[in-house]
Structure 1
């Protein structure tokens, strides 16, 4: 007959083992990543201003871009809209083996002046890259989708005096 302290240890060990087994059986199986022919990618966009992350058909996608975060001319980033939505998207995407990236820029009513300003200087370009890396790490993202629409040389404005 085991001693009382040995019985308590055995009971505690059995309880821990039963708890671990119950936890393991309750966890949902890992989702399979979608495999497309010729290593094609199926990319979707989730706008920050509409839509529900629970209604995404993750099983049909390889990548999702969260739209958008906007740059400032000094290389910093404007605060992302609906950060809790982005966090939920990352959690659900990763649980379904879908890579999640941040889309930077977008149409922005045709105003690409911040991109133009930051691109014109090596210091602001460096700040921009460092801020993007920090953003990716903060939200556990898989990458960045650069969506600069449309990079052009701005025409010089001249003033005519009469």
Structure 2
């Protein structure tokens, strides 16, 4: 008797169909679920030139009125600042801040050092994306929102906008996101303004898998939220988290120049505290990542992440400026060399940061 040898790759699809044919509809979903893997993306060689960006968020509400650190920030160490956050209404209008002075002063201080300023929209105010979806799915509202945004940018002499649309949970929502970004990009490009967005870290974040990288063609850069990770290394923003986040998006063919690695200036653990609070409590905390059941990014980790980004990304994103440590007039200790903004800048410049050595 002769046997016919059939290569396994020829019968594997038939076996899969046989298994799925015996499943009820809900079982089929269980088999596919979030584990369904599309054809792998084949990435072309990335030859895009890298312009390294140093992007920071800044929230005026968090500043102690007696210690306004806006005038203490070393803007020459930055390239972009995002003012957080402008409130967006469901009718496409934007809420002008009750106190306009912080935004106006930010623009003056930053522009004096040739630093670009944008407003950030979304995040805490529209965490479930209800407003974004409503606007993106209505062409009239989309047009109204874009026009209002352009007017706001012109009124405050801004350089761009950062869209913080998080937790994409379906392909249809990703498509809505894409439509909104396309409409924004068209108008902002004509005005000579930039468009950035936030993106989840990747591997352990189901929202990342729902985002089509086609959306990224409309943005100048992407602030990758490589913190508050759900992995199991006990740290909310380890060096490995940063590597995993950049690898995830790089393997999905996002060019290096568009990826801006996010780092936190705050702790997680038994309490959420700013880096400034931690270091003023004990200066030695600047050189470690854990203290009193809190974890954060100390100077050595920030240096390592910056060096990794220099080889694998297009910039560093800092969240958030008001949580960094600054030298104030009444300080009896020199804190300037412990500033994470300065640490990142010195590392980018190729200088050795020796404060923790």
Indicate whether 1:133 and 2:145 are aligned: no
Task: Give the 3-state SS of the residue equivalent to 1:74 in structure 2.
Answer: coil
**Unaligned segments of structure 2, at least 5 residues:** 1-48, 64-68, 173-357
- Root mean square deviation of aligned Cα: 2.1
**1:105-159 Cα deviation digits (max 9, x unpaired):** 12327242211211110000000000100000010000011111233359xxxxx
Residue in structure 1 matching 2:140, options 112, 116, 123: 123
Distance 1:59 1:145 in 2: 21
Note if contact 2:128-2:167 (Cα within 8 Å) is conserved in structure 1: no
Aligned to 1:80: 97
Aligned to 2:260: none
Indicate whether 1:114 and 2:126 are aligned: no
Note if contact 1:100-1:141 (Cα within 8 Å) is conserved in structure 2: yes
Aligned to 2:12: none
* CA-CA distance at 1:73 after TM superposition: 1.2
* CA-CA distance at 1:67 after TM superposition: 0.5
**Structure ranking higher on relative contact order (CA contacts 8 Å, 6+ apart):** 1
1:23-38 matched pairs, under 5 angstroms: 38=50
Note if contact 1:49-1:81 (Cα within 8 Å) is conserved in structure 2: no
After TM superposition, the structure 1 stretch with the greater mean CA deviation from structure 2, 46-55 or 60-69, is: 46-55
Note if contact 2:126-2:132 (Cα within 8 Å) is conserved in structure 1: no
Aligned to 2:72: 55
Tell me the TM-score normalised to structure 1 length: 0.66
Between Structure 1 and Structure 2, how many residues are aligned? 118
Aligned to 1:42: 54
Distance 2:130 2:161 in 1: 20
* CA-CA distance at 1:79 after TM superposition: 2.5
Tell me the TM-score normalised to structure 2 length: 0.31
Task: Give the 3-state SS of the residue equivalent to 1:53 in structure 2.
Answer: helix
Note if contact 1:72-1:118 (Cα within 8 Å) is conserved in structure 2: no
**1:77-110 Cα deviation digits (max 9, x unpaired):** 1233532100000000000110111111123272
